[in-house]
Amino acid sequence: MEVITAKTAGFCFGVKRAVEKVYDQVNQGKKEIYTYGPIIHNEEVVADLESKGVKVLESKEDLKNLAHGTVIIRSHGVGKEIYRDIEEQGLELVDATCPYVRKIHRIVREKSEQGKQIIIIGNNTHPEVEGIKGWCVHPAIVVGDQEAAEELRLPHDQEICIVSQTTFNYNKFKNLVEIIDKKGYDIDVINTICSATEERQLEAGELADKVDAMIVIGGKSSSNTQKLFEICKTNCVNTYYIQTLDDLELYSLPPVKCVGITAGASTPNYLIKEVQEYVRNEL
């Protein structure tokens, strides 16, 4: 059996940087380490960090209850008020926000200060989008699908700035922008989808198109992994979404000659290698 693993599978730059920052705090021997939300969307990584004493703060209330300690901002970023709360409480701050996400924060702050209405193409409940909204001077509008784009109604003299969640599907982003653009607004479109995300999605689609079965590895709450699964499923009916090797063993894969493997940006390399070895030796 031939096994082809996508070159872009696994940790992206921003995720690798964020995870390393947390382990660096652990290795320094600090005893009270917290991340504001899971540092990345991968349950295995979060569980390993918890085993080393790193605790996850799930809300502002959790943060306000801290008297001391180190708080690490998750890779997805947070709103401006969280930085303020950490500073006011005298807590140590380590910022592990992905640099690409921080760029969006700067863009929406600047454009909203200019009076432009910020429209975020993305998932309204995703923590990255929640964080982006927290840097807008005026409330942002989130558009996640065609229906929301078509229902958008704004004064025609209102200037608009459109940005995107970094992990959003690039083709869907273009389609939604086209729908909004046809309404005749004065639009400033800034494609803030991470270049690594675009490359990963393109490679996954091309790989899925030429294999008999496709395996997508990543956390169930990982937005970029879900997008990879959707893309692969469109091109290969035998596409499987797993978090770990244990999930794959539950499937009865049909007899195939060629299997493709890709993984979300929050998937550690050791999980990818485990799946590779299993597919080569057991299927």
List the CATH number of the domain containing 87: 3.40.50.11270
- Given 193, 211, 238, which residue is the final one in a domain? 193
Whether 40 and 118 map to the same domain: the answer is no
Whether 117 and 84 map to the same domain: the answer is no
Query: Is residue 128 annotated as part of the catalytic site, yes or no?
Result: yes
Counting the structural domains of the chain, the total is 3
Model pLDDT for residues 165-190, shown as the tens digit of each residue: 998 988 899 999 999 999 999 999 99
pLDDT band at 283 (very low <50, low <70, confident <90, very high): low
Domain limits for position 202:
2-10+196-282
Model pLDDT, residue 198? 86
- Given 148, 170, 193, which residue is the final one in a domain? 193
pLDDT band at 8 (very low <50, low <70, confident <90, very high): very high
pLDDT band at 282 (very low <50, low <70, confident <90, very high): confident
Could you give the 3-state DSSP secondary structure of residue 139?
Answer: coil
Residue 131 has pLDDT above 80, yes or no: yes
Give the residue-averaged pLDDT of 262-276. 94
Whether 86 and 111 map to the same domain: the answer is no
pLDDT band at 80 (very low <50, low <70, confident <90, very high): very high
Model pLDDT for residues 230-241, shown as the tens digit of each residue: 999 999 999 999
Q: Lowest-confidence range among 22-26, 40-44, 49-53?
A: 40-44
Domain CATH for 267: 3.40.1010.20
Rg of the chain taking only CA atoms, in angstroms: 20
Sheet containing 141-143, strands listed edge to edge, beginning at the edge strand earlier in sequence: 141-143, 117-121, 159-164, 186-189
Whole-model pTM?
A: 0.87
pLDDT band at 1 (very low <50, low <70, confident <90, very high): confident
Model pLDDT, residue 23? 97
**Mean pLDDT, the chain, whole residue set:** 94
pLDDT band at 251 (very low <50, low <70, confident <90, very high): confident
- Given 151, 169, 193, which residue is the final one in a domain? 193
**What is the full DSSP assignment across 201-232?**
HHHHHHHHTTSSEEEEE--TT-HHHHHHHHHH
Catalytic site residue from 50, 58, 128, 198: 128
Tell me if 167 sits within 8 A of 224, measured CB to CB: yes
Model pLDDT for residues 43-62, shown as the tens digit of each residue: 999 999 999 999 999 999 99
Q: Lowest-confidence range among 45-54, 92-101, 249-258, 267-276?
A: 249-258
Model pLDDT, residue 25? 96
Whether 177 and 203 map to the same domain: the answer is no
Whether 163 and 231 map to the same domain: the answer is no
Residue 202 has pLDDT above 70, yes or no: yes
Tell me if 257 sits within 8 A of 210, measured CB to CB: no
Cα–Cα separations (whole angstroms), residue 103 to 142, 172, 272? 18, 21, 30
Whether 213 and 253 map to the same domain: the answer is yes
Whether 152 and 228 map to the same domain: the answer is no
Residue type (1 letter), 28: Q
